[in-house]
Structure 1
Amino acid sequence: MPADTAIKRNLGIAFVTQYTDLFIQFVGVMILARIITSEEIGIYSVAAFLMALLHVFRDFGVTKYLIQEPELTPEKIRSALGAAILLAWAVALVLFSLRHPVARFYDEPRLADIMAVMSISFAVTPFGSVVNAIYRRDMAMRKVATVQIGSGLFATIVSTILALNGFGAMTLAWSNLAGISMYGVIAALLRGPGIPLLPRFRDLRDILRFGSIASLGSLANVAGNNSHDVIIGKMLSLEATGYFSRGNGFVQIFKNLISGAVGPLVLPYFSALRHQSSDMVQPYRAAIIYITGVAWPFFGALAVLALPIVRTFYGPNWDTSVPLVQILCAAGALSMLTMFAGDVMIANGHVKAVTKLQLLTQPVRVAAILAASTFGLAQVAAATVLAEAAAFALLSPLLHRTTGITVRHVLGATLRSTLVTGFTVAGPLLVMLFDSGSGYPLVDAILGGLGALAGWLAGVFWCRHPIRDHLLQARLWLSARILSRS
C-alpha cells in the first residue's frame, strides 16, 4: 500500500476512534454532571493533578522510547516492560504514602480514599501502555481503536453505575481504575507473537537514559498544564476548581477529538521522515495548516455558543463556567501553534531541546496562574492565554535551531485558517444575537452548530483552504461507494 494511502487510512481510523470515544465520554459527562456536584468534581480534579504529575515518573519516557527506537527487538520490549513495571510500582507506593498528607493539606478526607484507588491504577498501567505503544509505533490503528474504545466504554458504564448508587467523588477514581484495567486486558488479547508479556529487569540503561531526559521535560509540562486545578483548589475553593475544570474540559474537547487522533501518529511519522533524511519544514507547515483549519473555527464557534452549550450538557447550575470557556478558547487556539513541536524535535533527535523548552515555559505558566488566582477564576483563565503566548515566543527559536522551522513558516500557515474562522463564527453570532437569553439552549446550540458548519464549509471552499481538496476527495469516494451499491 502506498505511504500516502496508508497514512490517510490510519488517520481515518484514528478520527473514527476519537469521535466514538468522545461520544462515549460526552454521554458519561452529561450523566455525571447531573449527579455529582461541582465540589466533588473539584476534589477529584486535585487528586487527578497529582496523578498526572506522578504519571510522568510512571511512564518515564518508556512509550516514547519504544516508538522512536530504530531497532526494536523482543528483548528490548521485555526490558521496557520491566522498566515500566518498576517505575509504576514505585510511583504507586509514593502516591499511596502521600494520601493522608495531601488530604490534610486541603482539609478534605475524601482525597485520601481517592488517592488510594489511584495508586492501584498506577500499578496496573504498564501492562497496557507498553503493548499499545508498540501498536502506535507500527501504526496498527485498528488495534489502538479497539483498546481505546473498549476501555472508554467500560469506564463510562462503571462510572454511571457508581454515580447512580451514590459513590460521589469516588465514582471517578473507581471508573478510572476500571478503564485502565480493561485497557491492559484488551491490549494483551490483541498482541501478536512478536510482543512478549514477560518483563526483563536487565539492560535498562538506554531506556532510563532516554527517559530521564524526556521525563524532566514531561514533568514540567504536566505540572504547568495542570497547575490551575491544584492552585485554584488551595487559593480559592474546591468548588471553584470544579467550575474551572468543567470549563477547561470543553476546551480540551478539541484535543480529545482531533489531536487525540492525530497525536499518536505524529512522533512515528516524523521519526520515519528523520530515518529517511527527509525535510521536516513542509510536513510541519502542512500539519499547522490542517490543525488550525479545524481547530480555530472550532474554538471560535465554541466561544460564541458557550452559554447554550454549557447549559445543554451540564445544566444551568454550571453557568459560572461560561466566561471561563470563552477565555480559555483563546488559549486553546494559541496552543495549536505549538502542539506538534515537541514530538517533531524529539523525532529529529533533540529530546534535550524539548526538556529545555518545558523548563523555560512551565514556570512562567505556574507563576502567572498563581498570581492571577488571588483575583478570581476569570483572571486565571486570562493568565492561561498569556502563558500560551509566552510558550510560543520561547518555543520559536528552539524550533528553528533544531528543525529549521521558523515563525514565518508557522504563522504563514495560519492565514487561510484565520479567514475560515471568520466565516465559521458568523452563523453562531447571528443565533446568539437573536436569542441571547438562551431560553432553549439545546435549540440555540443546534442552530449555532449548524450555522458554524455551514460557514466553515463556505470558508474552506471560498478561501481554497487545503482541506477543500480532501473534502472533494471524500465526496468522490462516497459517490463511488453509493454507485457501486446501486
Structure 2
Amino acid sequence: MTTLPLPLARTDVRRAFLGNLAASSGETAMRFLLGLALARLLRPAELGLFAMAAAVFGIVQLLRDFGISAYLQREPALTARRFSACLGLLACTTVVALLALLLLAEPLSRLFGQPGLAPLLRVLAVGLPVSAFGSVMAALQLRDLAAARIAKVSWLGVAVQAIVALSLSAEGAGALGLAWAQVAATVTCGLVYAAWRPTRLPWRPTWQGWREVLRFGGASLLASGLAGLHAALPDLLLGRLAAPHQLGLLGRAQATVSLLQAVAGQALTFGALPLLSSRHASGQALAPTLQRATALLTGLGWPLLALTVAYREPLVRLLYGPAWLDCTPAVLPLALVAGLALAFTQLGAALAAVGRPELAAWPTAVSLLARIGFGVTLFDGSLASFAWALCAAAMLALPVQLGLAARHLGQAPRALLGAVGGSALATLAVLVVPLSVAPLVWLAALRWSRHPLLDEILQLLARRRMTSRK
C-alpha cells in the first residue's frame, strides 16, 4: 500500500525553518511594496470594498476546505485510500461553496449596502476550483516541509498579483482590478503546483473513506471556521456600521501593525502542525516546544510592535502618505491585539496535534461574540473606538486560552510567563532609548535575560560564516 509518512527529523525542521525565513522575507517585501503602490493608486473606499469581498471569500474558502488541509498535514501515515477520500470530499465541498457564493453574492451586497460587492464576489468565485487544488498541494508541501517549493510558488503568485493589480488599478479598475489580480495569482500558483503533483498518490476522488476525514475535518472546521469568521469580522462589522472609507483606514492600520513582525510570524509557525503531531505521536511533551516557540515569536515580535506604536505617525506618513494619517489612532489597540496573539500562535496547531482541534474554537467563540458586542456598543463613529473594541475582545478571551494550554497541553500560566519574561524586558528596553541604538539595546536585553532567540541568532551567524569561508 502506498503511504506518505511524516519525515520530521530535527535537521529537516531547522533547514525548513531557515528556508522559509528567507522566503517569507522576500515575499513580505514584495507585498509591502505592492501595498505602498496601491495606497497611492486607490482610494480608501476602494481598498475597503475589496477588504469586505476578501473577508467573505476567506470564510467561503475555509468552509470549502472542511479541515482537509489540516488532515493532510497531520495524518501520520497518509495512504492512497485516505488521500482519495480527501479529494472526493474536497470536490463535493468545492461545488457547494462555489454555488453558494454565486447565489449569495447579490443578497450579501444588499445586506451590507454595497452594490459593488456582488461583482467582486463573482470574480473571486472564478478562482475557487483552482484554489482547492492549490490547497491540497500546499498541504502536501507543508507536510514534507518543502520550503523551497513553497517559496517559489509564493513569490510567483505575489509577482503575478502585483503586475495585474497595478496594471488594472492604473487603468481605473478600482477594487475589481484587485479581485482579478487575486484570481490571476491563484491560477498561476495552481499551474505551478500541477507540475509538482506527487506520483506516489492516486489523484482519483472517491466516496469511500469519508467518515474518518469527516470526523477530523468536522472538529477542525469548527475551530478553523470560527477563526476565519473571527478574522473577517472586523471588516464585515465595520463595513456594516460605517463606510468603506473607514474600512480602508482600518486595513492600513492593520497592515502597519503586522508589517514589521510578519516575517518572524510566518517563519516560526512554518510546519507547526506536522512537527507537533510527530512529537505527540512519539510520546514527547509539547509544552517545552510551545514555550520555546512563544519565546522566539514574542522576543522579536513584541519589540517590533512597540516600535511600530512609538513611531506610528512618521511610519504611516512614510509608507502610505499623509492621506492615510487618520488610521494612526487604531495602531495602539491593534498592536496590543497582535501582541496577545503572538503568545498563543501555535495553540490551535497544538490542540489539533493532540487530536482535539475543536477545543481551539472556545477562545475564538468568546472573542467573536465579544467583538460583536463590544463593536456595536463601543463604536461611536471613530476608528479608534472600533479598534479598542477589538482589543477588549482579545483580553476577554485570554483566560480561556490560558486554561486550554494548561489543561490539555501541560503549559501552566506560570510557565508561559517565564517564556515571555525576557521578551517583555527586551520590549521595554527598546522603548526607552533612541531608535538608532534600539537594536543594540535589544540584543543586550536578550543576552541579560538568556533569551533563546539570541542562541538562534548566534547559530545562524555561525552557519553563515562557515558557508562564506567555503
Which interval holds the TM-score relative to the shorter structure? over 0.9
2:326 equivalent among 320, 324, 333? 320
Residue 297 of structure 1: how far off its partner (Å): 0.6
1:8 equivalent among 14, 27, 44? 14
Equivalent position amino acid for 1:162 in 2: L
Residue 231 of structure 1: how far off its partner (Å): 1.4
Deviations 1:185-221 (A, max 9, x none): 1122123322444433432222122212211222222
State how far apart, in whole Å, the 2-side matches of 1:58 and 1:122 are.
Answer: 9
Alignment TM-score, normalising by the size of structure 2: 0.94
Alignment TM-score, normalising by the size of structure 1: 0.91
Change (3 A) 1:53 1:390: same
Equivalent position amino acid for 1:86 in 2: C
Q: Does 1:405 align with 2:391?
A: no
Other-structure match for 1:219: 225
Residue 306 of structure 1: how far off its partner (Å): 1.1
User: Superposed, which structure 2 residues align to 1:75-154 within 5 Å?
Assistant: 75-154=81-160
Other-structure match for 2:347: 341
For 1:72, what is the secondary structure of its paired residue?
strand
Residue 88 of structure 1: how far off its partner (Å): 1.8
State how far apart, in whole Å, the 2-side matches of 1:255 and 1:85 are.
Answer: 36
State how far apart, in whole Å, the 1-side matches of 2:163 and 2:75 are.
Answer: 37
Residue 48 of structure 1: how far off its partner (Å): 1.5
User: Superposed, which structure 2 residues align to 1:231-246 within 5 Å?
Assistant: 231-246=237-252
Deviations 1:271-306 (A, max 9, x none): 011111001111111111111101101100111111
Other-structure match for 2:163: 157
State how far apart, in whole Å, the 2-side matches of 1:211 and 1:81 are.
Answer: 13
Equivalent position amino acid for 2:278 in 1: A
Other-structure match for 2:432: 426
State how far apart, in whole Å, the 2-side matches of 1:385 and 1:355 are.
Answer: 19
Deviations 1:366-407 (A, max 9, x none): 222222224521111112222222222112112222111111
Matched length: 464
State how far apart, in whole Å, the 1-side matches of 2:8 and 2:198 are.
Answer: 24
Contact 1:125 1:180 in 2 (8 A): yes
Q: Does 1:350 align with 2:356?
A: yes
Q: Percent identity?
A: 26
Contact 1:288 1:414 in 2 (8 A): yes
Q: Does 1:45 align with 2:51?
A: yes
Other-structure match for 1:171: 177
For 2:78, what is the secondary structure of its paired residue?
coil
Residue 107 of structure 1: how far off its partner (Å): 3.1
Equivalent position amino acid for 2:467 in 1: R
Contact 1:60 1:214 in 2 (8 A): yes
Equivalent position amino acid for 1:108 in 2: Q
Equivalent position amino acid for 1:459 in 2: A
Residue 224 of structure 1: how far off its partner (Å): 2.0
Contact 2:351 2:357 in 1 (8 A): yes
Q: Does 1:308 align with 2:342?
A: no
Change (3 A) 1:197 1:426: farther
1:474 equivalent among 444, 460, 468? 460
Equivalent position amino acid for 2:114 in 1: E
Other-structure match for 1:393: 399
Equivalent position amino acid for 1:453 in 2: P
Structure 2 runs not aligned, ≥5 long: 1-6
Q: CA RMSD in A?
A: 1.9
Change (3 A) 1:153 1:200: farther
Other-structure match for 1:259: 265
2:292 equivalent among 286, 296, 304? 286
Deviations 1:295-328 (A, max 9, x none): 1011001111111211111111000111212221
State how far apart, in whole Å, the 2-side matches of 1:260 and 1:480 are.
Answer: 26
Deviations 1:390-437 (A, max 9, x none): 22211211222211111111111111111111222334xx4xxxxxxx
1:36 equivalent among 38, 42, 46? 42
Structure 1 runs not aligned, ≥5 long: 431-447
Other-structure match for 1:442: none
Other-structure match for 1:445: none
State how far apart, in whole Å, the 2-side matches of 1:209 and 1:482 are.
Answer: 50
Contact 1:217 1:357 in 2 (8 A): no
Residue 141 of structure 1: how far off its partner (Å): 1.6
Contact 1:425 1:455 in 2 (8 A): no
Q: Does 1:461 align with 2:461?
A: no
Equivalent position amino acid for 1:457 in 2: L
Contact 1:233 1:241 in 2 (8 A): yes
Which region of structure 1 is more displaced relative to structure 2, 316-325 or 84-93?
84-93
State how far apart, in whole Å, the 1-side matches of 2:260 and 2:100 are.
Answer: 33
For 2:159, what is the secondary structure of its paired residue?
helix
For 1:278, what is the secondary structure of its paired residue?
coil
